[in-house]
Amino acid sequence: MPPRRLAADWVFPAVAPPIRDGAVLIDEQGHVTAVGPDVGGEVPTPPGVPTEYFPDAALLPGFINAHTHLELTGLAQQLDEPDFPSWIRRLRALKAERTPEQFLEAAKQGVRECWAAGVTAIADTGDTGAVAHALAELGGRGVAYQEVFGPHPAQVEESMAGLKAEIAALRPLEVSGRLRIGVSPHAPYTVSAPLYHEVGKWARDEGLPLAVHLAESVEESRLLHNGTGGFADAWSKRGIPAPLPLGLSPVAFVDHYLGLVDTLCIHAVRVDAADIDVLFRRGASVAHCPLSNRAHGHGDAPLAAILAAKIRVGVGTDSVLSVGVLDLLASAREARALAGLSAFDTLGMVWWHAARAIGFPDKLGMLVVGGQADVAVVSLRQDTHQPEEELLSGRGTVLATFVGGREVYRRANA
């Protein structure tokens, strides 16, 4: 891949204020080797490397979506269930109708839609392996967490055998370095305590990152608190024993069995001060999905308290089935309103802070020397006085997207 020199009216390093009339130089390996003002020599122009200038536009780190289910791409608006437990059941039935080929095509379409929206890295959970294959085939960046289920303690052996076989098949896809395979013991209402324990032990031995849907709904809390509610009813109909011991919060329960060290906790809506303290002490991170939480009627996460505790937070959209369109900036604006954040801090949760939350601390989510050249080019007026506000408004159009310096999306006529 030849080196590239990109220039635009604005450059967002993400960890520093925007630069007016800036440029970025990208080397053959897809790393940023210089970033700064376009003129003045700070960003060299090597012989034979023409500058591509984008007028009325900004160069910025590609956005990072901390929670997706891209294998569900194309299934939007097919679920209209009154409560969360029946929604989950309908989702299972809907997934059973898709073939592996359809999941792969859906996942690829999902990855391309991310790029068209300027999103260059994702943390995705799913149980088909389709997103890992799609990222590997298309050259995308992200973590694909393989989901494992098994609410009955008697299912542990079978679930573990399935998980180990799936992970063994997926790990060779990590070869590019852009893709990481992880494990997601799905949620407290689909995973038994002994399965959490086995998955945690095994995943840590294997060095696999972990993600869990956690503390999302009232029904989940009720199941763990006193064994009542929609999930508890469904369990008892299937002869599944109530979780033991009762009385723990979702965070305390999963921390006890799985261990939340370095774990990506998706949602974290129903968490109190003690839970937040556990998340902090374990070095857990949070995928905050405000629009999904609202759509399901789960309420709002205590984002300000989570951030005040210095927990790493990335904003996620969740799936098309929950939110319709994966509008990451709309989710970020919602997070901002919830916690009263500056535009700079809000954008951090779809850039470098999100990168750390999903386990890519290596200069991802920022445009700095030595960092990954994951770049989105977004239209932005040259004369704006508030470039960060303007960017966050979502009014800009994504003109081009690069992953590791490779062009993966270009808008017609851009």
Residue with tokens 């200038």: 53
Two tokens, residue 287: 């995928």
Decide whether 70 or 181 has the Cβ nearer to Zn ion.
70
| Shortest distance in whole angstroms from residue 129 CB to Zn ion | 17
- 3-state SS string over the chain? CCCEEEEEEEECCCCCCCEEEEEEEECCCCEEEEEEECCCCCCCCCCCCCEEEEEEEEEEECEEEEEECHHHCCCCCCCCCCCHHHHHHHHHHHHHCCCHHHHHHHHHHHHHHHHHCCEEEEEEEECCCHHHHHHHHHCCEEEEEEEECECCHHHHHHHHHHHHHHHHHHHHHHHHCCEEEEEEECCCCCECHHHHHHHHHHHHHHCCCEEEEECCCHHHHHHHHHCCCHHHHHHHHCCCCCCCCCCCCHHHHHHHHCCCCCCEEEECCCCCHHHHHHHHHHCCEEEECHHHHHHCCCCCCCHHHHHHCCCEEEECCCCHHHHCCCCHHHHHHHHHHHHCCCHHHHHHCCCHHHHHHCCCCCCCCCCCCCCECCEEEEECCCCCCCHHHHHHCCCCCEEEEEECCEEEEECCCC
Binding mask 81-120 for Zn ion (x = CB under 5 A): ----------------------------------------
CB of 59 to Zn ion, least distance (A): 31
Between 318 and 388, whose beta carbon lies closer to Zn ion? 318
By CB under 5 A, the residues from 267 to 326 that bind Zn ion are 318
Closer of 318 and 334 to Zn ion (Cβ): 318
Minimum CB–partner distance for residue 173 and Zn ion (Å): 22
CB of 287 to Zn ion, least distance (A): 8
Shorter beta-carbon distance to Zn ion: residue 127 or 318: 318
Least distance (Å) between residue 212 CB and Zn ion = 10
Q: Which residue is nearest to Zn ion (CB)?
A: 318
The DSSP bridge partners found for residue 77 are none
Q: Which is nearer to Zn ion, 32 or 291 (CB)?
A: 291
**CB of residue 3 vs Zn ion: minimum separation in angstroms?**
39
Alpha-carbon gap, residue 148 to 151, rounded angstroms? 10
Nearer to Zn ion, 249 or 322 (CB): 322
Output 220 or 318, the one with its CB closest to Zn ion: 318
Q: Which is nearer to Zn ion, 318 or 374 (CB)?
A: 318
Nearer to Zn ion by Cβ, of 4 and 186: the residue is 186
- Min dist CB 273 to Zn ion, Å, is 25
Which of 89, 289, 302, 293 is CA-nearest to residue 189?
89
- Least CB distance to Zn ion at residue 155 (A): 21
In the bound state with Zn ion, the residue whose beta carbon lies nearer, of 318 and 390, is 318
How far apart, in Å, are the Cα atoms of 297 and each of 37, 77, 150? Answer: 46, 16, 26
Q: What number of chain residues touch Zn ion (CB under 5 A)?
A: 1
Q: In the window 373-412, what residues touch Zn ion (CB under 5 A)?
A: none
- Shortest gap between Cβ of 326 and Zn ion (angstroms)? 12
Binding characters for Zn ion, 149-188, by CB under 5 A (x = yes): ----------------------------------------
Shortest distance in whole angstroms from residue 289 CB to Zn ion: 7
Contact positions toward Zn ion, by CB under 5 A? 318
